[in-house]
Amino acid sequence: MIFHRSPNKRLMEEVQASGAAFLTQATLRGRFALRACVLHYATTEADIAALVDAVRDTGARLVGG
């Protein structure tokens, strides 16, 4: 049996390594999913947008786009 590493796991690790954001993981319906937990009271919409941008940019870089 061959196990393939989840693309989302690699994406999570790359975003974490960049220092742009810290994502964790969850399993939804048996699949690896990205999870962001926002706790700080001063988090803004711009902070969330920056997180989304970091994930999108990293994903595009990983697939060569």
Is residue 51's pLDDT more than 50?
A: yes
Residues of the chain with pLDDT > 90: what percent? Answer: 80
Report the predicted TM-score, pTM, of the whole model to 2 decimal places. 0.82
- Domain boundaries defined on the chain: 7-62
Please tell me the predicted confidence (pLDDT) of residue 6: 84
Please tell me the predicted confidence (pLDDT) of residue 11: 95
Residue whose entry in the numeric block shows the structure tokens 């711009």: 46
CA 31 to chain centre: 14
Higher pLDDT, 8 or 4: 8
CB-based contact 30:6 (threshold 8 Å): no
Q: What's the whole-number mean pLDDT along residues 51-63?
A: 96
Please tell me the predicted confidence (pLDDT) of residue 2: 45
State the fold for domain 7-62. Aspartate Aminotransferase, domain 1 (3.90.1150)
CA 57 to chain centre: 10
